[in-house]
Chain A
Amino acid sequence: DAKTTQPNSMESNEEEPVHLPCNHSTISGTDYIHWYRQLPSQGPEYVIHGLTSNVNNRMASLAIAEDRKSSTLILHRATLRDAAVYYCILRDGSSNSGYALNFGKGTSLLVTP
């Protein structure tokens, strides 16, 4: 799977928007961009995923650059509960070889009141 690069940590104030960047310059045409997050003392949870177009769901938005070499996870109003490690992961959508997520180090998001 292609590699992703994320900042080690970011900080945000509560109720403000948060933009979490991810670089994936070696992304292939069939790679989907997945975001997961892991809250303290819990297993990871799915946030959002996309291929080429921007995506929105109840948790977040995913903005994908036109050349797909970077993407941004947007939390529209950060809450204290959003403090977690956020992982940007590429997953080959054409692969029949199975499902394995390469989590990397992720971005640790701190939300302050």
Chain B
Amino acid sequence: KAGVTQTPRYLIKTRGQQVTLSCSPISGHRSVSWYQQTPGQGLQFLFEYFSETQRNKGNFPGRFSGRQFSNSRSEMNVSTLELGDSALYLCASTTGEVTNEQFFGPGTRLTVL
């Protein structure tokens, strides 16, 4: 079974631009979560989608948004990029049962110049 895949793996953008990151979950997984990892703040939860609906949201500004498609693939979008948005963005999928483990992708490294 293929793991969680994320594209692109690396991205360089400039301040003020917007970016879209993509995540393909493990087949059969209906829940997709997004996390931001920075050296200063560590791993922080962004949001979770389940059956195309946002089910949970972390404490991030509205510039961060996401969506999930009917095939469970998910995208996250960051508008009006700031230097502080430079981070590793991780996607994780799970079946949707609350106690089940999450499977993480390799992440997308975003650099904002």
Question: Which of B45, B48, B98, B106 is within 8 Å of A92, CB to CB?
Answer: B98
| B102: interface (CB < 8 Å) | yes
Stretch of A9-17, A20-28, A61-69, A95-103 at the chain-chain interface: A95-103
Top-6 shortest CB links A-B: A98-B56, A43-B104, A98-B55, A46-B101, A103-B43, A100-B45
Residues of B contacting A49 in the complex (Cβ-Cβ under 8 angstroms): 99, 101
- Chain A residues within 8 Å of B45, by CB: 100-102
Whether the Cβ atoms of B103 and A46 lie closer than 8 Å is: yes
Q: Are A99 and B33 in contact (CB under 8 A)?
A: yes
Q: Which of A71-98 contact B (CB under 8 A)?
A: 87, 91-98
Cβ contacts A32-60/B at 8 Å (1 or 0 each): 10101010001111100100000000000
Please, what's the 1-or-0 string for B36-67, where 1 marks a CB less than 8 Å from any CB in chain A?
00000011110010100001101000000000
**CA–CA, A49 and B101, complex, Å:** 8
Q: Which residues of B contact A3 (CB under 8 A)?
A: none
* Distance in Å: Cβ of A98 to nearest Cβ of chain B: 3
Q: Does A104 contact B (CB under 8 A)?
A: yes
In the complex, what residues of A have CB within 8 A of residue B106's CB?
Answer: 42-43
Interface residues in A, total, Cβ within 8 A: 27
Enumerate chain A interface residues (CB-CB to B < 8 A): 32, 34, 36, 38, 42-46, 49, 87, 91-106
| CA–CA, A32 and B42, complex, Å | 22
Residue B22 interfacial (CB < 8 Å):
no
Query: Contacts of A34 on B, CB cut-off 8 Å?
Result: 101
On chain B, the residues within 8 Å of A104 by CB distance are 42
Task: Give Cα A53–Cα B103 distance, bound, in whole angstroms.
Answer: 24
B92 within 8 A of A: yes
With A32-B99, A44-B104 as contacts: A99 and B42 at CB distance below 8 Å: no
- B31 contacts the other chain (CB 8 A): yes
Instruction: Output the nearest chain B residue to A38 by Cβ-Cβ distance.
Output: B43
Q: Are B50 and A98 in contact (CB under 8 A)?
A: yes
A43-B107, A44-B90, A105-B42 given; A99·B31 CB < 8 A? yes
